[in-house]
Structure 1
Amino acid sequence: MNACIRAVVRKALYHGIEVVGVRRGFHGLVAGDFMEMKSRTVGDILQRGGTILKSARSDEFKTEEGRAKALLQLRTCEIDGLVGIGG
Protein backbone atom coordinates (compact mmCIF):
# COMPACT_ATOMS: atom_id res chain seq x y z
CA MET A 1 0.00 0.00 0.00
CA ASN A 2 2.80 2.43 0.81
CA ALA A 3 4.26 2.09 -2.67
CA CYS A 4 0.89 2.99 -4.19
CA ILE A 5 0.40 5.91 -1.80
CA ARG A 6 3.87 7.18 -2.68
CA ALA A 7 3.21 6.90 -6.42
CA VAL A 8 -0.11 8.76 -6.22
CA VAL A 9 1.37 11.54 -4.07
CA ARG A 10 4.45 12.01 -6.23
CA LYS A 11 2.52 12.05 -9.50
CA ALA A 12 -0.11 14.46 -8.18
CA LEU A 13 2.51 16.84 -6.76
CA TYR A 14 4.39 16.70 -10.07
CA HIS A 15 1.23 17.96 -11.76
CA GLY A 16 0.68 20.68 -9.16
CA ILE A 17 -2.17 18.93 -7.36
CA GLU A 18 -2.40 19.25 -3.58
CA VAL A 19 -2.74 15.89 -1.86
CA VAL A 20 -4.57 15.06 1.34
CA GLY A 21 -4.40 11.61 2.90
CA VAL A 22 -7.23 10.03 4.87
CA ARG A 23 -6.05 8.43 8.11
CA ARG A 24 -7.77 5.18 9.16
CA GLY A 25 -9.62 4.49 5.90
CA PHE A 26 -13.38 4.82 5.80
CA HIS A 27 -13.50 5.62 9.52
CA GLY A 28 -11.23 8.61 8.91
CA LEU A 29 -13.27 9.66 5.90
CA VAL A 30 -16.41 9.90 8.03
CA ALA A 31 -14.51 11.56 10.91
CA GLY A 32 -12.64 14.00 8.67
CA ASP A 33 -9.25 12.68 9.77
CA PHE A 34 -7.16 14.15 6.94
CA MET A 35 -3.47 14.96 6.64
CA GLU A 36 -1.57 16.97 4.06
CA MET A 37 0.73 14.81 1.97
CA LYS A 38 4.05 16.22 0.75
CA SER A 39 7.13 14.68 -0.87
CA ARG A 40 8.79 14.39 2.52
CA THR A 41 5.73 12.55 3.87
CA VAL A 42 6.28 9.68 1.44
CA GLY A 43 10.04 9.91 0.98
CA ASP A 44 11.02 6.88 3.04
CA ILE A 45 7.91 4.72 3.17
CA LEU A 46 8.72 2.01 0.62
CA GLN A 47 10.47 -0.22 3.15
CA ARG A 48 7.74 0.12 5.77
CA GLY A 49 5.08 -2.54 6.05
CA GLY A 50 1.37 -1.81 6.10
CA THR A 51 0.29 1.71 5.33
CA ILE A 52 1.40 5.06 6.73
CA LEU A 53 -2.23 6.17 6.71
CA LYS A 54 -3.39 3.16 8.73
CA SER A 55 -6.62 1.43 7.79
CA ALA A 56 -9.98 0.83 9.40
CA ARG A 57 -13.45 -0.26 8.45
CA SER A 58 -16.47 1.82 9.32
CA ASP A 59 -19.94 0.55 10.09
CA GLU A 60 -21.13 4.14 9.90
CA PHE A 61 -19.89 4.47 6.30
CA LYS A 62 -22.10 1.51 5.36
CA THR A 63 -25.17 3.65 6.06
CA GLU A 64 -26.57 6.39 3.85
CA GLU A 65 -26.12 8.87 6.69
CA GLY A 66 -22.49 7.86 7.12
CA ARG A 67 -21.74 8.32 3.44
CA ALA A 68 -23.45 11.72 3.51
CA LYS A 69 -21.26 12.68 6.47
CA ALA A 70 -18.14 11.57 4.59
CA LEU A 71 -19.19 13.62 1.57
CA LEU A 72 -19.75 16.64 3.80
CA GLN A 73 -16.23 16.20 5.24
CA LEU A 74 -14.78 16.17 1.72
CA ARG A 75 -16.73 19.24 0.66
CA THR A 76 -15.90 21.13 3.87
CA CYS A 77 -12.19 20.54 3.25
CA GLU A 78 -12.64 21.42 -0.45
CA ILE A 79 -11.39 18.02 -1.58
CA ASP A 80 -12.28 17.57 -5.26
CA GLY A 81 -11.25 13.97 -5.89
CA LEU A 82 -10.72 10.71 -4.06
CA VAL A 83 -8.38 7.83 -4.87
CA GLY A 84 -9.38 4.63 -3.10
CA ILE A 85 -6.68 2.01 -2.54
CA GLY A 86 -7.18 -1.49 -1.20
CA GLY A 87 -10.31 -3.41 -0.50
Structure 2
Amino acid sequence: MKYSINQATDLTCTIFDPSFPEGIKKEWLYDLIDMPYENIVVKAPRKYHEILVYEFGADYMTPPPVEQQVPGTDKNYWID
Protein backbone atom coordinates (compact mmCIF):
# COMPACT_ATOMS: atom_id res chain seq x y z
CA MET A 1 0.00 0.00 0.00
CA LYS A 2 1.42 3.35 -1.03
CA TYR A 3 0.03 5.27 1.95
CA SER A 4 -0.45 3.98 5.47
CA ILE A 5 -3.92 4.35 6.97
CA ASN A 6 -2.18 5.21 10.24
CA GLN A 7 -0.87 8.43 8.68
CA ALA A 8 -4.22 9.50 7.22
CA THR A 9 -6.59 11.92 8.92
CA ASP A 10 -9.35 11.70 6.29
CA LEU A 11 -10.69 8.83 4.21
CA THR A 12 -12.78 8.74 1.08
CA CYS A 13 -14.84 6.21 -0.81
CA THR A 14 -13.52 4.64 -4.00
CA ILE A 15 -16.67 5.87 -5.74
CA PHE A 16 -18.06 9.39 -5.52
CA ASP A 17 -20.69 9.79 -2.85
CA PRO A 18 -22.44 13.18 -2.93
CA SER A 19 -23.24 12.76 0.77
CA PHE A 20 -19.52 12.95 1.57
CA PRO A 21 -17.93 15.19 -1.11
CA GLU A 22 -14.89 15.89 1.08
CA GLY A 23 -14.46 12.31 2.27
CA ILE A 24 -14.91 11.39 5.91
CA LYS A 25 -12.71 11.74 8.95
CA LYS A 26 -10.89 8.59 9.99
CA GLU A 27 -11.86 9.15 13.62
CA TRP A 28 -15.53 8.82 12.57
CA LEU A 29 -14.90 5.18 11.67
CA TYR A 30 -12.32 4.18 14.27
CA ASP A 31 -13.35 6.05 17.43
CA LEU A 32 -16.32 3.90 18.51
CA ILE A 33 -18.53 3.66 21.58
CA ASP A 34 -21.03 1.08 22.79
CA MET A 35 -24.58 2.30 22.26
CA PRO A 36 -27.81 0.59 23.34
CA TYR A 37 -30.19 -0.20 20.48
CA GLU A 38 -33.46 -1.88 21.40
CA ASN A 39 -32.35 -4.94 23.41
CA ILE A 40 -28.71 -5.10 22.24
CA VAL A 41 -25.57 -2.97 22.37
CA VAL A 42 -23.94 -1.94 19.08
CA LYS A 43 -20.76 -0.09 18.15
CA ALA A 44 -21.38 3.45 16.92
CA PRO A 45 -19.09 6.36 16.09
CA ARG A 46 -18.37 8.51 19.14
CA LYS A 47 -19.05 11.64 17.07
CA TYR A 48 -22.32 10.37 15.57
CA HIS A 49 -23.91 13.83 15.93
CA GLU A 50 -21.09 15.41 13.89
CA ILE A 51 -21.52 12.74 11.19
CA LEU A 52 -25.29 13.21 11.03
CA VAL A 53 -24.94 16.99 10.76
CA TYR A 54 -22.32 16.56 8.02
CA GLU A 55 -24.56 14.26 5.97
CA PHE A 56 -28.07 15.61 6.67
CA GLY A 57 -27.64 19.14 8.08
CA ALA A 58 -28.14 20.64 11.54
CA ASP A 59 -31.86 19.78 11.57
CA TYR A 60 -31.34 16.06 10.82
CA MET A 61 -33.90 15.10 13.48
CA THR A 62 -36.67 16.99 11.65
CA PRO A 63 -38.09 15.03 8.71
CA PRO A 64 -38.86 16.98 5.55
CA PRO A 65 -42.49 17.56 4.60
CA VAL A 66 -44.13 14.41 3.21
CA GLU A 67 -44.14 15.79 -0.34
CA GLN A 68 -40.33 16.26 -0.18
CA GLN A 69 -39.52 12.84 1.26
CA VAL A 70 -37.72 10.44 -1.07
CA PRO A 71 -36.50 6.88 -0.49
CA GLY A 72 -32.86 6.53 0.48
CA THR A 73 -30.35 3.76 0.04
CA ASP A 74 -28.40 1.58 2.42
CA LYS A 75 -24.77 2.47 2.95
CA ASN A 76 -22.31 -0.15 4.09
CA TYR A 77 -18.83 0.52 5.43
CA TRP A 78 -16.08 -2.02 5.99
CA ILE A 79 -12.93 -1.65 8.01
CA ASP A 80 -10.09 -4.03 7.19
- Taking structure 2 as the reference length, the TM-score comes to 0.28
The structure with more helix, counted as a fraction of residues: 1
Tell which structure's C-alpha radius of gyration is larger: 2
**In proportion to residue count, which structure has more strand?**
2
Instruction: Return the structure number with greater relative CO, CA threshold 8 A, min gap 6.
Output: 1
| TM-score, reference length from structure 1 | 0.26
